[in-house]
Structure 1
Amino acid sequence: MVKVYEALSGTAAIPAVNDPFTDCTDVEVLKAYNIGAVGGVTENTYEPDSLLSREQASTMLTRVFKKVSIPGWTLATDDQFSLNYTKPAPFADDAQISDWAKDSVYFMAANGIMGGMDNNMFAPKNVTTKQQAEGYANATREQALLIAVRMVLNLGN
Structure 2
Amino acid sequence: LLKLLKVYAEDKIVLPHTTHFMFSVFEEVGHGANSSIDPKTVEFLAVDMGAMGDDQQTDEYTVSICVKDASGPYHYNFRQHLVALAKAQDIPYKLDIYPYYGSDASAAMRAGTDIKHALLGAGIESSHSYERTHIDSIEATEKLVDAYLRSELVK
Return the TM-score normalized by structure 1: 0.33
Higher strand share: 2
Bigger RCO of structures 1 and 2 (CA < 8 A, at least 6 apart): 2
Higher helix share: 1
